[in-house]
């Protein structure tokens, strides 16, 4: 094995980005019922699970910056998938009827995505990889 190949294989940055590109392609295939990027569906899922969530809570649950959440929320508002209600200094976010319908479609697509990558990677590797990535992400987030 050449030195460059070894570096590519052992570099967490390169390998995780390669994995992200591949899993994104698989997700896009399973979420082809909408023109939204897969990341938006996870926001919809969190809002579904906690109606009237604040933007700050949403950022914490999704580990995203406020500027990112603002951009996502505005796009979802424009598509009539979420609504914002202001109460004092807090803005609450909840799903519209269209957002709820999209959530149902997302859950079906998510089930299909799980089945696809479990078939490709195997159930045990899929679960272990997900848990390890989650743990590694938490450690990196604490350090940044």
Please report the pLDDT score of residue 144 as a whole number: 77
For residue 106, give Cα distances in angstroms to 21, 53, 59, 83, 141.
20, 19, 20, 19, 27
- pLDDT for 66 equals 92
Give the pLDDT confidence of 60-88 residue by residue, as tens digits: 999 999 999 999 999 999 999 999 998 88
Residue 94 three-state SS: strand
How far apart are alpha carbons 2 and 18 in whole angstroms? Answer: 19
100: domain CATH number? 1.10.10.10
Read off the pLDDT band of 89 (50, 70, 90). confident
Total domains, the chain: 1
29-45 residue pLDDT tens: 999 988 999 999 999 99
**91-103 pLDDT, tens digit each:** 899 999 999 999 9
Q: What is the mean pLDDT of the chain?
A: 94
pLDDT, residue 29, reads: 93
Give residue 137's domain range: 3-143
Work out the burial of residue 93: count CB atoms within 10 Å of its CB; fewer than 13 is exposed, 13-18 middle, 19 or more buried: buried
């Amino acid at each position: 094995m050449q030195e460059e190949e070894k570096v590519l294989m052992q570099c967490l940055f390169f390998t995780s980005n390669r994995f992200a590109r591949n899993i994104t392609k698989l997700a896009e295939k399973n979420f082809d019922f909408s023109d939204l990027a897969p990341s938006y569906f996870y926001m919809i899922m969190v809002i579904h699970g906690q109606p009237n969530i604040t933007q700050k809570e949403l950022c914490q649950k999704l580990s995203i910056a406020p500027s990112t959440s603002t951009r996502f929320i505005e796009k979802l508002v424009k598509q009539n998938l979420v609504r914002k209600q202001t109460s004092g200094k807090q803005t609450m976010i909840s799903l519209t009827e269209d957002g709820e319908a999209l959530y149902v479609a997302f859950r079906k697509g998510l089930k299909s995505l799980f089945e696809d990558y479990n078939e490709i990677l195997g159930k045990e590797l899929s679960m272990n990889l997900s848990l390890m990535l989650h743990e590694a992400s938490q450690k990196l987030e604490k350090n940044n």
